[in-house]
């Protein structure tokens, strides 16, 4: 299959620029498109054949459901059993980086929801994503645009790397603003939610709208072999570079000492903060911004993980984020990318 590449300026485009892409979606094809979180690989969410194509292109197990994307929160009506809490969340966070899971209606094939009787709904704020959905005239099912298990694509070049020849078209709309996928919540009662995947809409922000927000344990811990998570995607290794990644926690000075020691031993890559750069040798470091700027870290995280595969070095080390605010989303992605490998370096007391 030949993949067409369309460059579209998110700040100045007309509906005509997206005509061909919308036609591809309507006729059952696949289009990679930018969103404010990460790029998505999209197909008609009402067409099970499109969903099957998405699973095949991504190499994704078909029991891992897809999010459906709508142009306006109210457009979810024909597809999901909505409720007042959904509209409260929509009023505060949509369009934007929030996905809400609700019971599904028959208009969405079970292929899209991985056999589940619920459906995940998101209304993206990215102008290209929003216009593409509107012009397609159908909700767009779209997982992150990465081969299953790899870091999500946050720019067209990364999507092209994974999907050239596997999709009909890729829309290049520049870099994704947030760089991490949407926050996912499941509505569990009139005024209760469970947070399944943290993102730019933080736990604290959700608590301002809903009085009972529970964080699923699987956000931070490893799943047991036999466990069936509420969010099927959590059971798969995720976001991972091809090289082994370990996270380094504990005291900042001890971390630095550890990174320096690893650099001396050679053959490693360090994903570090601005503040650490001047203490490290410049070879094999990837700076993801200030320790105090989780927004920037989120924006750069997946490209850093992809870059670590391209630089020379056999092992990758990164700082273990704390779990406050947006830190929880960074923690959740990194801990999965590292397959839960965390090192707490301690200074050897025999060494001065």
Determine how many CB atoms are found less than 10 A away from the CB of residue 132.
29
Positions 124 through 163 that interact with Mg ion (CB under 5 A): 144
x-marked contacts with ligand TXA along 12-51 as a string, rule CB under 6 A: -----------------------x-xx-x-----------
- The torsion angles phi and psi of 17, rounded to 5 degrees, stand at -65, -20
What is d(CA 350, CA 167) in angstroms, rounded to the nearest whole number?
58
Instruction: Tell me which of Mg ion, ligand TXA, none is bound by residue 116, counting a contact when its beta carbon lies within the kind-specific cut-off of 5 to 8 angstroms.
Output: ligand TXA
Residue 65 as a binder of ligand TXA (CB under 6 A): the answer is yes
What is d(CA 10, CA 170) in angstroms, rounded to the nearest whole number?
14
Helix (H, G, I), strand (E, B) or coil at 297: helix
What is d(CA 197, CA 220) in angstroms, rounded to the nearest whole number?
10
What is d(CA 79, CA 324) in angstroms, rounded to the nearest whole number?
34
Among 3, 64, 125, 192, binds ligand TXA (CB under 6 A): 64
Minimum distance from residue 140 beta carbon to Mg ion (Å):
15
Alpha carbon 293 to its chain's center: 19
- The DSSP bridge pattern shows strands 31-33 and 169-172 to be parallel
Instruction: Tell me which of Mg ion, ligand TXA, none is bound by residue 216, counting a contact when its beta carbon lies within the kind-specific cut-off of 5 to 8 angstroms.
Output: none
Residues that bind ligand TXA (rule: CB under 6 A) add up to a total of: 26
Q: Residues with Cβ < 8 Å from 350, sequence gap 6 or more?
A: none
Nearer to Mg ion among residue 144 and residue 303 (C-beta)? 144
Going through 307-346 in order, the beta strands assigned E by DSSP cover 315-319, 342-343
- The torsion angles phi and psi of 32, rounded to 5 degrees, stand at -85, 130
Nearer to ligand TXA among residue 175 and residue 254 (C-beta)? 175
Nearer to Mg ion among residue 59 and residue 252 (C-beta)? 59
Among 25, 67, 169, 338, binds ligand TXA (CB under 6 A): 67
Nearer to Mg ion among residue 113 and residue 144 (C-beta)? 144
Minimum distance from residue 142 beta carbon to ligand TXA (Å):
5
Minimum distance from residue 331 beta carbon to ligand TXA (Å):
16
Are 98 and 86 a contacting pair, CB within 8 Å?
Answer: no
Residue, CB closest to ligand TXA: 233
| Rg (the chain; Cα; Å) | 20
Among 142, 256, 269, 328, binds ligand TXA (CB under 6 A): 142
Instruction: Tell me which of ligand TXA, Mg ion, none is bound by residue 119, counting a contact when its beta carbon lies within the kind-specific cut-off of 5 to 8 angstroms.
Output: ligand TXA
For residue 315, what are its two tokens?
């092992």
Minimum distance from residue 102 beta carbon to ligand TXA (Å):
8
Residue 202 as a binder of Mg ion (CB under 5 A): the answer is no
The separation between the first and the last C-alpha atoms of the chain, rounded to the nearest angstrom, is: 61
Residues within the interface to ligand TXA (CB under 6 A):
35, 37-38, 40, 64-67, 99, 101, 113, 116, 118-120, 122, 142-144, 181-182, 184, 230-233
């Amino acid at each position: 299959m030949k993949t067409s590449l369309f460059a579209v300026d998110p700040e100045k485009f007309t509906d005509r620029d997206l005509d061909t892409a919308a036609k591809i979606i309507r006729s059952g094809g696949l289009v990679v498109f930018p969103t404010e979180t990460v790029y998505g690989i999209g197909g008609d969410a009402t067409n099970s054949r499109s969903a099957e194509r998405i699973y095949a292109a991504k190499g994704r197990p078909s029991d891992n459901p897809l999010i459906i994307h709508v142009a306006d929160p109210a457009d979810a009506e024909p597809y999901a059993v909505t409720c007042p809490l959904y509209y409260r969340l929509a009023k505060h966070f949509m369009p934007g980086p929030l996905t809400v899971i609700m019971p599904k209606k028959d208009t969405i094939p079970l292929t899209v929801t991985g056999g589940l009787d619920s459906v995940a709904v998101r209304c993206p704020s990215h102008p290209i994503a929003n216009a593409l959905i509107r012009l397609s005239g159908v909700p767009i099912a779209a997982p992150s645009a990465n081969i299953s298990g790899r870091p999500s694509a946050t720019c067209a070049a990364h999507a092209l790397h994974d999907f050239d020849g596997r999709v009909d078209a890729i829309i290049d709309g520049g870099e994704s603003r947030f760089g991490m996928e949407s926050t996912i919540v499941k509505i569990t009662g009139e005024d209760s939610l469970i947070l399944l995947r943290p993102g730019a809409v933080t736990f604290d922000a959700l608590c301002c709208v809903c009085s009972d927000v529970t964080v699923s344990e699987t956000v931070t811990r490893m799943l047991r072999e036999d466990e069936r998570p509420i969010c099927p995607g959590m059971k798969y290794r995720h976001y991972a570079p091809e090289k082994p990644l370990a996270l380094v926690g504990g005291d900042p000075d001890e971390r630095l000492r550890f990174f320096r020691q690893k650099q001396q031993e050679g053959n490693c890559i360090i994903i570090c903060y601005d503040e650490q750069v001047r203490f490290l040798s410049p070879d094999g470091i990837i700076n993801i911004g200030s320790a105090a700027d989780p927004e920037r870290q989120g924006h750069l995280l997946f490209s850093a993980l992809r870059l670590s595969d391209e630089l020379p070095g056999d092992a990758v080390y990164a700082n273990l984020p704390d779990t406050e605010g947006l830190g929880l989303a960074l923690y959740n992605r990194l801990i999965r990318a590292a397959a839960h490998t965390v090192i707490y370096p301690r200074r050897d007391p025999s060494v001065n």
